[in-house]
Amino acid sequence: MEKDASFLFGGISFNRRKFASDFDRFKGKNPDDLAEKLLLIEKEHETIDNSLEKLEFIENGKSEMEYERNASVGKKRKRKRKEKGTVSDSVEGFPVFKSSKLKKEVANEENDQSVNELVEGKKEYYRQLERDIVFRKMHNIHVSGSNIPSPLHSFEELRSRYRCRSYLLRNLAELGFKEPTPIQRQAIPVLLSGRECFASAPTGSGKTFAFVLPILMKLKNTTKDGVRAVILSPTRELASQTTRECRKLAKGKKFYIRLMTKQLAKNGDFSKLRCDVLISTPLRLKFAIRKGKLDLSRVEFLVLDESDKLFEPGMLEQVDFVVKACTNPSILRSLFSATLPDIVEDRARTIMHDAVRVIIGRKNSASETIKQKLVYVGSEEGKLLALRQSFAESLNPPVLVFVQNKERAKELYDELKLEDIRPDVIHSDLSQIQRENAVDNFRAGKTWVLIATDVVARGMDFKGVNCVINYDFPDSAAAYIHRIGRSGRAGRIGEATTFYTEADIPFLRNIANVITSSGGEVPEWIKSLTKKKWRKHRPRRDTISTQPDI
Ligand SMILES: Nc1ncnc2c1ncn2[C@@H]1O[C@H](COP(=O)(O)OP(=O)(O)OP(=O)(O)O)[C@@H](O)[C@H]1O
């Protein structure tokens, strides 16, 4: 059969990029066999691509019919362009099929076995892609980017696929982790494959180990090379918690994992101090870099945890300073948060290379294990009554009560300190040691009700918080998601009650959207409120006090 190989490909869009790596191997094969086989694979591939496209379409809230319409318009357009000659020949630029000289060479060299291997390899590749799609769908994992590594089916797979050391698997087992959470299933292979990553997954879904585990795996052993991994957290409490988690996972292995304390930032000489992983708030890190005793030029991993918070105006400048100080050209950067606004993604894209985007569930939504409730309290006075009544009816500690600022935290604490509810308070006016004590006592169950500002709204993992009360309405939908996310963690059930007054009504709709998108119910009248463009909602509120004004 003497056919021109390029004729065989007429009308078929051959995806050169996908086959680029194998191109050299095609030389010297029987062109007819090769062409037919590739044609088959390409068709299979097209089917997979179409299914993927359809899936994405439907996930974006569009109907199947809309997809079909869109696809047929696309095809018509393509046909027209082809008739006009504006569509390139399907194999244009493939000299192996175009040049008769090369064709001769191809025809001369026969190696059917390797052609078959190649074909089988490609088929298996697409079968794997299909399996990955199904598996991701099962775990609500959405990805975008090129060549995304397969998700993890188990922690054990880390050993076979990435030669994970036994101590890490042992530590995971000791922590009681039976299988990876969805974010861990996808973000860990992405980072281990040397890809940058921005990831969003609900509160309490195991994001911390999704970046700590690959860091420890990649660092392998401690060295005297200086800091090799930096994790930035927006608050000291979270930095301290992440340090502890990191040490737990590294147990049994000699790594130098350090928390940047005030003392260390002031007096630490990192040229003499061993440090593999450094965890810090941006401000302290910037201060230490400025002192000239901390060199970040060998940092291989930079994690921006709670990245949307780190990108807010107050911190952005310090984060930028740290990012610039990490000058290693092969650095891997990753961003994690439960809320990832588009603007943060856009900004992240400008600094990241070929990053993979991993979203678990719906972006910017609350954990579905939290039962959410909105309670109208009329006025500021009504709040205190409602809170006392709620405690009287059923106090199910530990309970976290969020207020708008430190002044109000102090006021509410003064009101409640003598009551039989073991209250405590945490805000930024307390000393470091007082803040640590407040967190530790709440964790240990010594205090039952912790009155807090947003300093503990993000990332803090107080196991078993049964209820979060938003005494003051949160200042943004993101703040709401993070605050209530202190309960209902790691698959547990939690409760969240949000008080609202007349002043908060214009902002109710935004919270209602979060509630409905995580499966909760809100009254119709709230849903019909007009959506408000929400900056920061921090109204001036009356003092919290039951003492009569003198
Ligand atoms: N694979 C796992 N199996 C069971 N529990 C896990 C697993 N991974 C992490 N956890 C536990 O889940 C809890 C929440 O994890 P983590 O604090 O990392 O959540 P997060 O997603 O970072 O939340 P946030 O958005 O609030 O910061 C922790 O107590 C952690 O120990």
Q: Atom 27 of ligand 1 has which residue's CA nearest to it?
A: 459
Q: Atom 23 of ligand 1 has which residue's CA nearest to it?
A: 204
Atom in ligand 1 nearest the alpha carbon of residue 178: 3
For residue 215 the two structure tokens come to 């860091």
Atom in ligand 1 nearest the alpha carbon of residue 306: 27
* C-alpha of residue 18 to centroid of ligand 1, in Å: 37
Atom in ligand 1 nearest the alpha carbon of residue 338: 25
Q: Is the dihedral of CA 17, 18, 22, 23 positive or negative?
A: negative
Residue with tokens 């036994």: 166
Atom in ligand 1 nearest the alpha carbon of residue 184: 1
For helices 207-219 and 236-249, the axis angle rounded to 10 degrees is 50
**pLDDT tens per residue, the chain (550 residues)?**
333 332 222 233 334 444 444 444 444 445 455 556 556 555 655 655 565 565 555 545 555 566 666 666 556 655 554 454 433 333 222 222 334 444 555 555 666 777 888 888 889 899 999 999 999 999 999 999 999 999 999 999 999 999 999 999 999 999 999 999 999 999 999 999 999 999 999 999 999 999 999 999 999 999 888 999 999 999 999 999 999 999 999 999 999 999 999 999 999 889 889 999 999 999 999 999 999 889 999 999 999 999 999 999 889 999 999 999 999 999 999 999 999 999 888 888 888 899 999 999 988 889 999 999 999 999 888 999 999 999 999 888 999 999 999 999 999 999 999 999 999 999 999 998 999 999 999 999 999 999 999 999 999 999 889 999 999 999 999 999 999 999 999 999 999 999 999 989 989 999 999 999 999 999 999 998 887 665 676 777 777 776 655 4
Rounded to two decimals, the pTM is: 0.79
Q: Atom 22 of ligand 1 has which residue's CA nearest to it?
A: 207
CA distances from 421 to 169, 430, 448, 488, 523 (A): 41, 21, 6, 22, 32
* C-alpha of residue 209 to centroid of ligand 1, in Å: 7
* C-alpha of residue 368 to centroid of ligand 1, in Å: 15
The ipTM value here is 0.99
Residue with tokens 């678990």: 360
* C-alpha of residue 202 to centroid of ligand 1, in Å: 10
Atom in ligand 1 nearest the alpha carbon of residue 205: 21
The residue type found at 277 is V
Write down the H helix ranges in 280-332.
Answer: 282-290, 307-310, 313-325
SS3 334: strand
Pocket mutation for ligand 1, best pick of 158, 209, 439 (most atoms within 8 Å of C-beta):
209
Pocket mutation for ligand 1, best pick of 139, 171, 181 (most atoms within 8 Å of C-beta):
181
Pocket mutation for ligand 1, best pick of 177, 305, 486 (most atoms within 8 Å of C-beta):
177
Q: Atom 4 of ligand 1 has which residue's CA nearest to it?
A: 177
Atom in ligand 1 nearest the alpha carbon of residue 461: 17
Burial of 202 (0-12, 13-18, 19+ CB in 10 A): buried
- Give the pocket of ligand 1 (CB within 6 Å): 177, 180-181, 184, 201, 203-209, 338, 459, 461, 463, 485, 489-490
For helices 112-138 and 31-59, the axis angle rounded to 10 degrees is 10
Residue with tokens 């230490």: 288
Question: Do the beta carbons of residue 426 and residue 450 sit within 8 Å?
Answer: yes
